[in-house]
A = this chain, B = another copy of it.
Amino acid sequence: MNVQQNQAIGSNPGRTRLHNRRLVLEHVRAQQPVGRAQIARATRLSTQAVSNIIAELEGEGWLHETGRASNGRGLPAVLYALKASGAAALGVEVRPDAVLAALVDLIGKTRFTDRVELQSTDPAHVAEVVNQLKIEALSKSGIAARRLLGVGVVMPGPFGQVGLSDAGQSALPGWHGVDAQALFADTLKVPVVLEHDSIAAALAERVGGVAKELGTYCFIYFGTGVGLGVMNNGYMIRGAFGNAGELGHVVVQPGGNACACGNRGCLETYISRFSVQQHLQRHGIDIHSGDDLQVLFDQRQPALMHWLNEATTPLSHAIGILENLMDPATIIIGGAFPDDLFDYWIDKMVLPPGTLAERPDRHIARVMRGASGRMSATYGGAALIINDVFTPRIAAEAS
């Protein structure tokens, strides 16, 4: 985890060029297909500067020409778009029972996915499993090794020692005190970024989901617990110690359900996978996967439907808190549940009245479902890497 944020540093010609390259790539991503002159206006660079950068990017295979503009007077612009195969990133999600992997290309398309059950969570073993996945992903997808920008590893947070006493519940056995970033980087021999699931899942929506055109939004991630990823103007909010987004332990009902963390009324006790498992167990139903939930939902199983309906209130409450505190363009929900459940919630939920989000000029929904499905966090790992090449900044790399 990057506890230290990207710290602003001094600029020089080299860093300026890198910043401008990223900025041009970001504009192509968001506006494609697009011509040089339009990029120049948007970035406030000269057309000459954009031309030079476009030539460089095209030479390196990031972009390709896709035709010419047709409308209007004057010389039609040569249009450029991202070249899907220009780069790729591997997202890896390490869970206590399995490792998930997804290879995602520059335009956010999935080129390969796999899942490997874990016999042991021993760090060296996990690192080797991930390494094999990397090799397999490259060979099966036909993407050249030099096009792999890096690997984004998503592990259960929070990172570091914090007061959440159930940290052990989600943490991986045998990883306490292990420098996971260094371990993976040494084994994989490519750049490695470590992040927790909710931030990664939020980024996945920007790289290949419903937030492609949004800079400021929240993502409520349903994993084992409930996490939050906040994107502000294109940059993730990580907090002073890198653990921002612990939505699951926000108290939504003082004096409510007892939570493993010792408090009462935590959001997680109402709307997490753990809570639905417990609820169904009390009704004699054991579920082990998202597929089980899908089956129950297809049957409109009464216990599940009851839980779903009850859950809308705390979820709506949490949405109200986020709308008032963060003023996001939208709130995206996604993660480990089947899409149908999220859709049901969005359809049935009464959104909190009287929040900042009720704007007459609103043109996108207050709440929407993420497009990345149950592998949100895995895709998010890749998105961490992909997003990086589109994020202009003059900053030291996180150590």
Contact = CB atoms under 8 A, between A and B. Distances in A.
Given A23-B9, A254-B253, A239 B216 contact: yes
A322 to B, nearest CB: 8
A215 B237 CA distance: 12
Interface string A212-227: 0011110000000000
A354 B164 contact: yes
Contact of A361 (B161, B263, B357): B161
Given A216-B239, A240-B327, A327-B243, A163 B253 contact: no
A20 B163 CA distance: 39
Interface in A234-257: 234, 237-247, 249-254
Given A263-B352, A321-B251, A45 B10 contact: yes
B354 A261 contact: yes
A354 to B, nearest CB: 4
A198 to B, nearest CB: 11
Nearest to A228: B325
Most B-side CB within 10 Å, residue of A163, A321, A324, A355? A324
A230 B317 CA distance: 21
A233 interface: yes
A238 to B, nearest CB: 7
A354 B239 contact: no
A321 to B, nearest CB: 5
A12 to B, nearest CB: 7
A356 interface: yes
Contacts of A329: 240-241
Nearest to A252: B254
How many protomers of this protein does the assembly include? 2
Chain A's interface: helix, strand, loop or mixed, by majority? loop
A161 B358 CA distance: 8
A241 B362 CA distance: 10
A72 interface: no
A324 B10 contact: no
Interface in A321-338: 321, 324-329
A324 B249 contact: yes
Contact of A254 (B164, B217, B317): B317
Interface string A147-176: 000000000001011111100000000000
A11 B239 contact: no
A262 interface: yes
Most B-side CB within 10 Å, residue of A9, A251, A326, A355? A326
Contacts of A352: 251, 263
A369 interface: no
A30 to B, nearest CB: 12
Interface in A271-299: none
A151 B36 CA distance: 38
Interface string A1-45: 000011011111000100110011000000000000000000111
B232 A325 contact: no
Nearest to A231: B240
A291 to B, nearest CB: 31
Given A239-B356, A325-B325, 16 more contacts: A10-B23, A10-B45, A10-B49, A11-B19, A11-B20, A161-B359, A214-B240, A217-B240, A240-B328, A241-B329, A243-B327, A243-B356, A244-B325, A245-B325, A250-B320, A263-B354
